[in-house]
């Protein structure tokens, strides 16, 4: 597909040259249009944001780091409005195309970056992930995706959504390249693996079972059934409330003045965020602290959890609004745990039942290198059929 047919770039997108040498030499990056670039006004997924904000005076350090490592910027990529959606259907203008499944959305909010990488327009996608905004489009578009440990990668110069959960991450078609780029952005540790955990729901999806076997074979460790309550609808709802309060704290004033410009789905979610923000949230803060303790107990040092990223395929481009809402709710089920725990996740693309999806490898905070190595091992072996 051509760049025009992918519809992945924001209006007025531009390229940036690379340094002459480095580990990412001859590689290109699609940059989600919420990273500051000096002289550029980020869209944050909506032309109204661009109309009401001034150009950046500095470039985000993470963009400079990639350029300094030899990567060029291919362009500034579209995203869902305010980065507050998981569908890839709520952004500016025509929505990006999913190259591996053109009849369905890309997932979001890093929709343009995922489309560009999956379509061969860029080697790397630079994005952000709060509730799954790298993991969901990676799974939907057949890509490797990396959500780092919270705070590991420099987030200066990046428009926030909910700072306690926001991270800067990457997507790529190749696990080796993902590992190289991750090492450019931060020092990633690789503690040894002692056990590989899988959801105790029966039956486990075949592609998840193969991933569990593959990780255990490649890195060692025994297989253990059960995630001790880390994944549930109640956990997802707790995340939504905590995230919503932070979203409103960060952007409530702007939203109040401009909500009429936003998509209905985003507007409804922001209304809930406002309602959450008007409460004290003390019970949720306590529940969050208890969840982090539970996470540390269940995922002991050396543990990796393996689970789906999506409950189903991404929505059809003809899907009704209620279907988009349902997809987002289902996606949160598997993606909320890492956000609450500040934990890293690496997505490995797989084929399952004739379709493309993704399996998520989740570890304790600080185990990023182990997960990236596991993804590389899976892609090099024959345990999974990766895209």
Contact 353, 133 (CB under 8 A): no
Q: How far apart are CA 131 and CA 239, in angstroms?
A: 8
Helix, strand and coil in the chain, % to nearest 5: 40, 20, 45
Could you tell me if residue 256 is inside a domain?
A: no
Could you tell me if residue 246 is inside a domain?
A: no
Q: Which residue segment(s) compose the domain that 187 sits in?
A: 3-234+280-380
Residues 112-144 as b/e (b if ≥16 CB within 10 A, e otherwise) read bbbbbbbbebbbbbbbbbbbbbbbbbbbbbbbb
> What integer pLDDT is reported at residue 353 of this predicted model?
76
> What integer pLDDT is reported at residue 81 of this predicted model?
98
H helix or E strand, kind and range, residue 233: helix 233-258
Could you tell me if residue 244 is inside a domain?
A: no
> What integer pLDDT is reported at residue 4 of this predicted model?
79
> What integer pLDDT is reported at residue 386 of this predicted model?
58
Q: What is the CATH number for 65? A: 3.90.1300.10
Could you tell me if residue 270 is inside a domain?
A: no
Residues 339-363 as b/e (b if ≥16 CB within 10 A, e otherwise) read bbbbbbbbbbbbebeeebbbbbbbb
Mean pLDDT by 10 residues, the chain (387 residues): 87 95 96 98 98 98 98 98 96 96 97 98 98 98 98 98 98 97 96 90 79 88 92 97 97 97 94 90 96 96 95 94 93 97 97 87 97 92 56
**Which positions are catalytic?**
32, 109, 133
> Total structural domains in the chain?
1
Could you tell me if residue 343 is inside a domain?
A: yes
Nearest to 369 by CA among 118, 156, 124, 175: 175
> What integer pLDDT is reported at residue 22 of this predicted model?
96
Could you tell me if residue 273 is inside a domain?
A: no
Q: Which letter does DSSP use for residue 349 in this model?
A: E
Could you tell me if residue 213 is inside a domain?
A: yes
Could you tell me if residue 305 is inside a domain?
A: yes
């Amino acid at each position: 597909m051509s760049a025009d047919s992918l519809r992945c770039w924001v209006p007025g997108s531009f390229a940036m040259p690379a340094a002459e040498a480095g580990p990412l030499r001859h590689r290109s990056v699609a940059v989600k249009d919420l990273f500051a670039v000096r002289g550029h006004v980020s869209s944050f997924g909506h032309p109204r944001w661009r109309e009401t904000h001034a150009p950046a005076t500095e470039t985000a350090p993470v963009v400079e780091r990639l350029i300094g490592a030899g990567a060029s910027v291919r362009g500034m990529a579209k995203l869902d409005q305010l980065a507050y959606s998981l569908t890839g259907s709520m952004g500016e203008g025509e929505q990006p195309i999913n190259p591996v499944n053109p009849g369905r959305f890309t997932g979001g909010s890093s929709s343009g970056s995922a489309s560009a990488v999956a379509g061969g327009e860029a080697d790397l996608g630079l994005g952000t992930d709060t509730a799954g905004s790298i993991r969901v489009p990676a799974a939907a578009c057949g890509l490797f995706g990396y959500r780092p440990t919270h705070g590991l990668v420099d987030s200066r110069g990046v428009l926030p959504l909910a700072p306690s959960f926001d991270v800067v991450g990457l997507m790529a078609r190749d696990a080796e390249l993902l590992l190289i780029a991750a090492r450019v952005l931060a020092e990633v540790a690789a503690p040894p693996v002692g056990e590989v955990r899988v959801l105790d729901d029966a039956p486990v999806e075949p592609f998840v079972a193969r991933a569990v076997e593959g990780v255990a074979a490649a890195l060692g460790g025994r297989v253990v059934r059960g995630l001790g309550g880390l994944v549930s609808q109640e956990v997802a709802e707790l995340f939504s409330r905590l995230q919503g309060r932070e979203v409103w704290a960060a952007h409530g004033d702007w939203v109040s003045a401009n909500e009429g410009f936003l998509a209905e789905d985003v507007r409804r979610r922001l209304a809930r965020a406002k309602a959450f923000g008007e409460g004290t949230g003390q019970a949720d803060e306590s529940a969050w602290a208890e969840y982090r303790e539970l996470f540390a107990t269940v995922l002991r040092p050396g543990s990796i959890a393996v689970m789906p990223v999506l409950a189903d395929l991404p929505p059809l481009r003809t899907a009704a609004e209620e279907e988009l809402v349902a997809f987002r709710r289902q996606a949160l089920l598997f993606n909320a745990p890492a956000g609450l725990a500040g934990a890293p996740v690496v997505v490995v693309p797989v084929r399952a039942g004739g379709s493309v999806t993704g399996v998520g490898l989740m570890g304790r905070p600080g185990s990023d290198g182990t997960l990236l190595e596991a993804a590389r091992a899976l892609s090099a072996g024959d345990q999974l059929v990766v895209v």
